[in-house]
Structure 1
Amino acid sequence: MKTVSEYSQRNILIIPQSLYDMSDIQQLMYDGNSGVFYKDLKQDLVDVEFYTNIPCVVYIESGQETITTSDNKTHELPARTAIFLPQGLNLHSDYVKVTENLKAYLIFFTDDVLTDFISAKKTNELNKGDQPELLKIQCDSLIEVYFSSLQLLKKKICNSPALVRIKLLEFLHLLSLYDERIFQAAFQSSKTSNSPKRNLTRLLNNSDILKLTISDLANLSGRSNSTFTRDFKAIYDIAPKQWLQNKRLDRAYEQLTNTELTVTHVAADLGYENVSHFIKSFKEKYNITPKQLKQSN
């Protein structure tokens, strides 16, 4: 079994499904994909990309975690904070240890549980007001008592489907005491199937993407070509094609200066099918050919 750190270095963490195989994630109670998991991280864990396959609430017991959306909005989660994550989102998690371990609970709700919870509200009350993409709720000792009860049930090996359902509904109703918008968040999540947009800044910070086409990048980011171009320009204020060429040429300059790679090898490594085109673009940017740069070092 792998740790979260080992798995997330090369994979997007699909939650909750991926959590069942993590050596540093404890399963407190579950029935299918509904249930409660507990993590206790002792070391820094940054830039973990994950996808919410079903709606989830993260509750921070100690430490602090930062959640970043595909639009690069950050949500700081200190201790005693809960956040509702709808289904179908690509997000990033960052934890840097300052004094305490990051101890957190992850609570997952299938449609039938959310439907039961939503039924406590009238439909016309659920369509009023704007709803944030991620609903953050500040909690207190009442929620701590709730999770203490789950830890005791774990020791008693109590995991019947009926009890799991009751405890999940109890948790949602407790959250509603702090913020009634949890009903609206659950309602919207049950109606919406979001496309899994990925965070562009973090995606494009990986050097492996330099050999891809713009269409490849758009698909990888969970966007159409037009949406990708629009979102990209909003962040970088430059066309994706020009940005990609600049990045490729910067990387080529670095490789030609600091490695023994040939001009042909560098061109191929960065996705140039035509070496002549690479040489022409390189000279236009640096006023020197790749071969001349190589010979000068």
Structure 2
Amino acid sequence: MIKNENTFTYSSHETLILPHGLKTMPKVKSLFPFKKNTGILHKCINENLINVEFYTQSHVIIYNIAGIETITSYDCKSIEIKEKDLLFLPKDNYLISDFIKNNKQLEAYMFFLDEDIIETFLSKQKKVRHSPKNKEIFYKMPSNLTIDEYIKTLKNTSKTMQHSSDFLEIKILELLYLIDNTDTHKRLQDFLSYNNTYKDKRNIISLMKRYYLNNFSIQDFATLSGRSLSSFHRDFKTIYHTTPHQFLVNLKMQHANKVLKEENKTISEIASNLGYENISHFIKAYKNKYNITPKQKQKNHL
């Protein structure tokens, strides 16, 4: 299962859920009360963060004030955001963030948009929207003087209206209109419209092989692949003639077998790293595949 943990100690087995996983973290402040998954966060990070894995539960617009952050997608596409860049991230995506301090802190505002506020914005637009041929996982654009001024006043505004969720919606809609007003190609509208309606059906096997150590549930993999849970099960069984659960177990047992042969780890450590809370369940799964117990396997390679 994707974990909803608030911690600066990251590993390949921890995934931060955005936005709520950020809200109680040090150096991250909510400017207004959140309304569902809509809100504005200000972050100011003073330490290196490497391979920070996160999952977006709502659409995100990031305005970068200082520092350079690199965002990498599930298929290894990367984008770098610098001072006064705007980055647009769609919901339901697994991404990785990297930041090297280099004498500068990482400071940014993060605007989280749920479906309701996106529909409010899109419903007032006259442009006939279409689905782009190639969906963008993310894209960025430079800021402008009007948006820069909006950002400068945002912090002071939040101090006087910090308890108003209604004012939160006004400020987010204001940002969307400011961006859209200078966006001659209406890229923002297409991006929000597409990502609020469609999901690409990504390659199931490549996702599971890439992330099987992240302790994701089958529901998590279905979401990442752009499918409903029932569609994910159906497509998987049709194409690969097995269940997602069994395929995932096989991947984990293959990894366990390699670790037992090559690394000096306890059985409980291996089981825990593979997401097994009950060690007996791990032992049973391993024995079902290899006809010996993990302990016997270890003894054979001493």
TM-score by length of 2: 0.68
Give the helix-richer structure, 1 or 2: 1
Tell me how far 1:65 sits from its aligned partner: 1.7
Please tell me whether the aligned partners of residues 50 and 99 of structure 2 are also in contact (alpha carbons under 8 angstroms).
yes
Structure-1 residue corresponding to 2:188: 182
Distance 2:23 2:103 in 1: 28
- Mapping for residues 11-22 of structure 1, pairs under 5 Å: 11-22=14-25
Aligned counterparts of 2:16 and 2:238: Cα–Cα separation in 1: 26
Within the candidate set 26, 43, 53, 1:23 is matched to 26
What's the counterpart of residue 137 of structure 2?
Answer: 133
The answer as to 2:174 corresponding to 1:160 is: no
Can you give the 5+ residue segments of structure 2 that lack an aligned partner in the other structure?
226-231, 241-246, 272-278
Q: Which residue of 2 aligns with 1:253?
A: 261
Which amino acid letter does the alignment assign opposite residue 68 of structure 2? Q
Is 1:272 aligned to 2:286, yes or no?
Answer: yes
Q: Which amino acid aligns with 1:28?
A: L
Counterpart-to-counterpart distance in 1, 2:116 and 2:290: 60
The question of whether the paired residues in 2 share the 8 Å contact of 1:3 and 1:24 is answered with: no
Change (3 A) 1:195 1:58: farther
Partners of 1:174 and 1:269 in 2: how far apart? 57
Cα pair distance change 1:227/1:5, threshold 3 Å? farther
Which residue of 2 is the match for residue 170 of structure 1?
174
Distance 1:36 1:199, change over 3 A: farther
Partner SS state of residue 21, structure 2: helix
**Partner amino acid, structure 1, of 2:17:** I
| CA offset digits 1:2-44 (Å, max 9, x no partner) | 8541588865323223333333311112451322101111112
Q: C-alpha root-mean-square deviation of aligned residues, in Å?
A: 4.1
Q: Is the 8 A contact 1:41 1:101 kept in 2?
A: yes
Letter in 1 for 2:51: D
Answer yes or no: is the 8 Å Cα contact 1:40–1:102 preserved in 2.
yes
Kept after mapping to 1: 8 A contact 2:212/2:248: no
Larger displacement relative to structure 2 (245-254 or 67-76): 245-254
User: Structure 2 CA distance, aligned partners of 1:152 and 1:61?
Assistant: 16
Aligned residue in 2 for 1:74? 78
Unaligned runs of 5+ in 1: 210-215, 232-238, 283-288
**Aligned AA for 2:195?**
S
2:79 is paired with a residue whose SS is: strand
Residue 273 of structure 1 aligns with an amino acid whose one-letter code is: K
Contact 2:259–2:265 (8 Å) recurs in 1:
no
Cα distance change of structure 1 residues 291 and 140 upon mapping to structure 2, 3 Å threshold = same
Counterpart among 205, 208, 211 of residue 203 in structure 1: 211
Give me the TM-score of the superposition, normalised by structure 1: 0.69
Percent identity among equivalent residues? Answer: 23
Counting matched residue pairs gives 264
Equivalent pair of 1:87/1:193 in contact (CA under 8 Å): no
> Counterpart in 2 of 1:118?
122
1:144 and 1:116 mapped to 2: Cα distance? Answer: 24
Q: Give secondary structure in 2 for the equivalent of 1:100.
A: coil
Q: For 2:289 and 2:139, how far apart are their aligned partners in 1?
A: 51
